[in-house]
Amino acid sequence: MRSAPLGQGTCYTAPSTSGRGAAAAAPRAHAAGRRAGAADLAGPAAAAGADRPPPVPPPPPPRLLSRAPPPREDAAATATASTIPPLAGVPPTSLPRHLALILDGNRRWARARGLPDRAGHAAGVAALTNAVAACLAWGVPALTVYGFSVENWGRGAGPAVGVLGVAAAAARAHAPALAAAGVRLRFIPRGLTRPRPLAEALREAERVTDAALAKAGRADAPALYLSVALSYSSRADMGAAAASLASDVAAGRLDPAAVDADALAARLSTAAVLPPALQFPDLILRTGGERRLSNFLLFEAAYAELAFLDELWPDVGVEALGAALRDFAGRERRFGRD
């Protein structure tokens, strides 16, 4: 459903098939089924005086992908070649040149199925494989995804290291396929050092894609700039950029008159991984039913179009992404002008 006619300053909200309500109800139903099943196992005496509903069937098995096989090392290339339909009737010039995704709902997806959180993050990686393939197929040159925020460390070291471990394993497994597809992989913010094995795995994945692009003579012209935000905070990023400018002014290396919005933008994490023409996202899409940016690309999002899906990220397939891009193509972007 749409909250207002599309156009400047509006956002798109897609119809829901598996939003927060369904995700919250499933664990309760599954728990009720377990309690009823325990009474049955205790025997007739234990169940005789109980007024309990019949056992609830367990939830369906997890659906990792909507229209593609389970992830493999060559999943991105295979999906691009064989499973991603074109966006018929949408001119390439109407598509976003930079798509940003807030991947929300992995944990809720897993818990609705009685699975560990790690399974939800793995399912989210599979859905991201589809998104990468779709961008390659449709000619979207830049994709930035929000995988883990600085604030997420507040959930505890165990959950945080768990999701980052999935990210490291995915980077290692998918780097060869990304390299073969002409993708340049980068992680922001730059200089991530903890946990050390994660940082080393991420740097190695970047090197794999860089080497393939250099060998193909495409170091400065990848098919897709894929940037993954891990342990990221947009406010911290802006603070670091401002501090860098202030330091240069204090040292006499920079004229105070040269400090402006462009100077600040040039020192953000995104400037280190994207060419200037692609630094600012055209469309930011968030899944999982929330309607906020959550400290993601706050400076860069000044004129981004916004879209929100109730579906949890692992349930978002190519068709849903295509629908959001079609909606974007129909918007009139005026950037404050008549």
Pairs from 30-35 (Cβ < 8 Å, separation ≥ 24): 30/56, 30/58, 30/59, 30/114, 32/56, 33/57, 33/58
**Pairing of β 224-232 and β 142-149:** parallel
Instruction: Report the alpha-carbon distance of residue 87 to residue 136 in Å, rounded.
Output: 12
1, 62, 77, 179, 331 from 74: Cα distances, Å:
36, 22, 6, 10, 35
Of 176, 187, 186, the residue nearest 212 (C-alpha): 176
How far from chain centre, in Å, is Cα 131?
9
Q: Would you state the structure tokens that stand for residue 247, as one six-digit string?
A: 């330091």
Alpha helices in the chain (DSSP H): 20-42, 44-48, 75-82, 106-111, 117-138, 157-180, 196-215, 234-250, 261-265, 269-273, 318-329
Q: What residues pair up with 173 in beta bridges, in sequence order?
A: none
Q: Could you write out the DSSP letters of every residue in 166-195?
A: HHHHHHHHHHHHHHHTTEEEEEESTT--SS
Residues in the chain: 338
Active site residues: 104, 152
